Structure 1
């Protein structure tokens, strides 16, 4: 049974993991991360989905890295998918990208700040792919029911929701863990984004900050309250990452964290 079918059935013992670098920076980077994370997750029986953004449209500064080129970045994701036999996800920002990206990936992710965009949600739904929607930093968890409904009007019931924190002032976020059981009440899998929930946006430098030391805290709490999956961006050397380096978990720290998370999951199920 493939990973997405396991998640859909919802009876797997462990949480599932969405992990990879923030952006598709190179084939070598994506292969290094995919190989390492696949090994760790196989050893722990954790269903794994590789994540990488082929396009970064939501950067603060106009001269920030936005991608290697759409088709080039998507083709690297295709190669990861085929070489490692992994499902792959990427985010889309405009309606036309849904059909384009669906040729290369298994899960289409909708960014938090676009979660109310009806045309985008429906374009993603029409592809028949899993549609993974991040909850807007400005929305209540109850409000995400309408995003789910928009996708389902296309005849596609394969919807996931991702909690990524709520705006707290101008430069911080806070996670309300009540949102996880609330959104699970819509009968869809719910994922905790342990990376972007720790962003420190709107910095005067134009480069988003973060607090990756707290990733474990966010992740363990999410598993404890019933999250179906976790979203963790990881990189061998976040200090040189071309996007969101301040938020990502260093790749060599993932193994210890997964061991801790498996223990929490086993204690609560």
Structure 2
């Protein structure tokens, strides 16, 4: 029996409507972040799709020391709290070290474990002990069945509010490939809902030399396939002008292209539900 994870008014899991986790890769400034959140909220309300807003206050794993990382913990959390209260949206962000966990848990509705840190036991336990929902990005170096050990670590702290995110696996150098079998495998082995990260799955890690490249044009194709494979939610990074984004622009989706894309995902999810009736 699959767990349903409740995050404010968003319910993710088997039998629930498809949820969307969306926002910019990183907080750039207050105006841009708020504008994105408001546009996403309006679209989600119009389509009646559950929405969680995501944005990073710090991208600690950027390729280059010169890359923009974000406003940092204090300023970033203040802005996410503003989005949470004024836009009335649950918010998600990633944490990168134990010292960030407690202050982040005071603001965020979901704490996210970055893919590169998904096996760091002490860090995982610190996040789990907050009692907040935890979104685990499956490392690019892991097989889908390996995620069960990570779930056990979180659950050992008494926290079973766990989401798992498929974001592709390394395929040679600077490239990722998605094995869609991983979605039902992770669901069946752990009983936890699975999110598909549509935009990081088309990332070309380090592929632009001092930054990662990406192929955003393929993200909708992979997302549709993931929902057809049973994904419970879709994660995507979006921006008003991805070519000018300060982080992950090559794999981010333009805000003004989202409505037909979301409608397609919603329709696929409904077909699956109709088949279960």
- After TM superposition, the score normalised by the length of structure 2 is 0.93
Map 1:59-138 → 2, pairs under 5 A = 59-138=62-141
Which of 244, 254, 257 does residue 258 from structure 2 map onto?
Answer: 254
- Counterpart check, 1:164 vs 2:167: yes
Which of 246, 251, 274 does residue 242 from structure 1 map onto?
Answer: 246
The Cα shift of 1:245 comes to 0.7
Map 1:118-267 → 2, pairs under 5 A = 118-185=121-188, 186-203=190-207, 205-267=209-271
Q: What is the SS of the residue equivalent to 2:251?
A: coil
The Cα shift of 1:44 comes to 1.6
Separation of aligned partners in 2, 1:6 and 1:251? 21
- Is the contact made by 2:216 and 2:253 (CA closer than 8 Å) also made in structure 1? yes
The Cα offsets for residues 28-61 of structure 1, whole Å up to 9 and x where unpaired, read as 1111111111111112221100000000101111
- Is the contact made by 2:12 and 2:18 (CA closer than 8 Å) also made in structure 1? no
Work out the number of aligned pairs and report it.
Answer: 267
The Cα shift of 1:226 comes to 0.4
Partner of 2:3: none
Q: What is the SS of the residue equivalent to 2:234?
A: strand
- Is the contact made by 1:115 and 1:136 (CA closer than 8 Å) also made in structure 2? yes
Uncovered stretches (5+) of structure 2, i.e. residues with no partner: 1-5
Give RMSD over aligned pairs. 1.3
Q: What is the SS of the residue equivalent to 1:161?
A: strand
Distance 1:239-1:168 versus aligned 2 partners, 3 A rule: same
The Cα shift of 1:98 comes to 1.0
Q: What is the SS of the residue equivalent to 1:182?
A: helix
Separation of aligned partners in 1, 2:9 and 2:89? 13
The Cα offsets for residues 134-154 of structure 1, whole Å up to 9 and x where unpaired, read as 001000010000111111111
Separation of aligned partners in 1, 2:208 and 2:229? 35
The Cα shift of 1:8 comes to 5.1
